[in-house]
């Protein structure tokens, strides 16, 4: 197999990163780019049209490099195990086809159909490579799984694939977590003398690094299902290969630790959806099906609801991912039972603290809180009587405003054309503009409400049409313009200062920004 020099690793990493950075530009200038645009709205966090081509460019670059490497064209590097290589290529092509049809705007694949196809691919991968959890090493003991090896390995591959896909919700997150996982697998392979895996992980890490240059907030391109499914299936296969090879008796526990964050997130999502459905009176079978329903309550969403930006959220999660991967490396080097148990207890305490601070224990222990029984327009009772109408909120904005813990505002969500009781005292109207072309229409009802209740308007938008703020200025309506993306604590802070000063003479306040901190009043931790 041979060894590999540090210069070779750095050169391969740099060259693959360069290719991954250049290939998206070629796709961006092609007419086909219109087929992969991802429009904002609904549960989506992004607030401008962004193409989902990151995964497609990564897969193209990966296949090109892999065939050049395998056939030793222009490269003299240690090769990958032939069965593993065949399995990776087959898995990449199969999973990329699913991702491609999910990313392109012309088609849509149902969740159950996609899951079934992933199961078939996982079964074929095991058949091609022979990689499966026949025996596992744990706490100094070796256990044979027998006939359970196949279903457990299939569940592992499909689970990790979907776990990576589910965390791909904000800029840079899935790529960063995958980069950490590939680096960890590369380190473990280096310690075990498997230099083919080292080269493979270096290639994947370089491709991710090049892609992240386009995906850091604000992202120019998204990874898409093609990329996240590819990363998940590949990382899952490599982890299974590491812990199932008898020449390197790595403890089984390092596999879930390498993908610790995605597995924690998907486990919380599945349990939360299941118990919520049970609490709603659904049958067990229907509750199981409900676990596949998408929502805006993942760990990264909850961090953002507490005021973190995309980059800050990714940083917090990356630190956690590095921690779990570091524990995996340490356990693999010192496999004593006591050391393993102590490190796992340490990691469990960190995980417990994080999930507690994010309110996951509240959701699990109080399966159906009173807030879920209230009408969406009957939000928290305001101590100070500051009633705010939220007009035209998409699903993400609605969820973000409802999830933030505060007792200052009562929020009343309305759609365009909906009526409201005149007896209410309204302190502000918040209008969410989904697109500049529709901004005049979106603002019209907001203006009517502002005139009716003699209150100011807060307009949230990607960009502001001149006609929009000129209308409010002519009508002497006090107006606050807030550019997306929205950071909820800042929004509530500005809204509070804006609303309590609304009794003053109406003026145009488009440049209004205040750094006054009312976090204590809003209950922000």
pLDDT band at 379 (very low <50, low <70, confident <90, very high): very low
Contact 498, 455 (CB under 8 A): no
- pTM listed for this prediction: 0.74
The Cα 314–Cα 316 span in angstroms is 6
461-484 core/surface letters (b: 16 or more CB in 10 A; e: else): bbebbeebbebbeeeebbbbbbeb
pLDDT at 139 over 80: no
Quote the CATH superfamily of domain 377-522: Response regulator (3.40.50.2300)
Cα gap 268→360, rounded to integer Å? 8
pLDDT for residue 381 is more than 50: no
For the chain, give the percent of residues with pLDDT over 70.
84
Task: Give pLDDT tens digits for 433-478.
Answer: 877 777 878 888 888 888 888 888 888 887 777 776 677 777 778 8
Would you place residue 339 in the very low, low, confident or very high pLDDT band (cuts 50, 70, 90)?
confident
pLDDT band at 177 (very low <50, low <70, confident <90, very high): very high
- Give the up-direction half-sphere exposure of residue 208: CA atoms within 13 A in the CB hemisphere: 22
> Which candidate, 241, 113, 114, places its Cα nearest to that of 165?
114
Rounded distance, CA 18 to CA 349, Å?
Answer: 40
Strands (E), 12-164: 37-38, 50-51, 135-138, 141-144
Lowest mean pLDDT, pick from 42-51, 211-220, 319-328 = 42-51
Spatial distance between the Cα atoms of 214 and 252, rounded to a whole number of angstroms: 35
pLDDT computed for residue 378 by the predictor: 44
| CB of 398 closer than 8 Å to CB of 376 | yes
Instruction: Using a pLDDT cut of 90, give the percent of the chain over it.
Output: 27
Instruction: Give 506's pLDDT tier (boundaries 50, 70, 90).
Output: very low
Domain residue extents for the chain: 6-365, 377-522
């Amino acid at each position: 197999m041979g060894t590999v020099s540090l210069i070779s690793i750095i050169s391969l990493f740099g060259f693959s990163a360069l290719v991954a950075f250049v290939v998206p530009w070629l796709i961006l200038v092609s007419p086909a780019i219109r087929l992969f645009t991802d429009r904002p709205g609904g549960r989506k966090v992004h607030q401008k049209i962004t193409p989902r081509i990151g995964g497609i460019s990564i897969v193209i670059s990966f296949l090109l490099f892999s065939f050049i490497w395998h056939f030793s064209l222009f490269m003299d590097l240690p090769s990958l195990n032939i069965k593993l290589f065949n399995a990776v290529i087959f898995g990449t092509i199969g999973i990329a086809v699913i991702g491609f049809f999910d990313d392109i705007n012309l088609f849509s694949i149902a969740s159950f159909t996609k899951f079934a196809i992933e199961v078939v691919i996982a079964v074929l991968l095991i058949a091609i490579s022979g990689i499966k959890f026949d025996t596992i090493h744990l706490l100094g003991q070796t256990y044979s799984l027998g006939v359970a090896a196949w279903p457990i390995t299939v569940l592992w591959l499909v689970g990790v694939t979907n776990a990576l896909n589910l965390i791909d919700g904000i800029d840079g997150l899935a790529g960063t977590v995958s980069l950490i996982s590939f680096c960890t697998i590369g380190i473990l392979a280096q310690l075990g003398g498997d230099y083919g895996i080292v080269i493979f992980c270096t290639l994947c890490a370089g491709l991710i690094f090049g892609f992240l240059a386009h995906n850091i907030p604000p992202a120019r391109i998204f990874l898409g299902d093609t990329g996240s499914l590819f990363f998940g299936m590949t990382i899952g296969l490599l982890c299974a290969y590491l812990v199932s090879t008898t020449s390197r008796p790595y403890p089984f526990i390092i596999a879930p630790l390498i993908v610790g964050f995605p597995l924690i997130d998907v486990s919380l999502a599945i349990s939360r959806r299941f118990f919520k459905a049970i609490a709603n009176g659904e049958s067990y079978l229907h509750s199981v099906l409900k676990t596949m329903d998408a929502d805006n309550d993942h760990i990264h969403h909850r961090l953002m609801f507490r005021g973190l930006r995309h980059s800050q959220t990714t940083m917090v999660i990356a630190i956690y991912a590095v921690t779990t991967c570091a524990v995996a490396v340490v356990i693999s080097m010192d496999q004593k039972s006591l050391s393993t148990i102590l490190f796992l207890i340490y990691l469990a305490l960190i995980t417990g603290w994080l999930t507690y601070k994010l309110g996951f224990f509240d959701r699990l222990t109080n399966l159906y809180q009173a807030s879920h029984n209230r009408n969406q327009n009957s939000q928290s009772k305001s101590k100070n009587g500051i009633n705010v109408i939220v007009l035209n909120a998409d699903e993400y904005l609605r969820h973000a405003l409802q999830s933030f813990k505060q007792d200052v505002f009562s929020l009343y969500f309305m759609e365009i054309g909906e009526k409201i009781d005149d007896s209410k005292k309204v302190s502000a109207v918040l209008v969410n503009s989904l697109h500049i072309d529709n901004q005049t229409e979106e603002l019209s009802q907001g203006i009517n409400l502002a005139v009716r209740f003699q209150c100011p308007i807060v307009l949230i938008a990607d960009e502001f049409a001149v006609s929009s703020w000129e209308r409010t200025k002519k009508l002497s309506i006090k107006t606050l313009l807030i550019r997306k993306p929205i950071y909820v604590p800042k929004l509530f802070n500005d809204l509070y200062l804006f609303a309590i000063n609304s009794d003053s003479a109406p003026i145009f306040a488009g440049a209004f920004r205040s750094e006054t901190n009312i976090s204590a009043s809003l209950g922000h931790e």
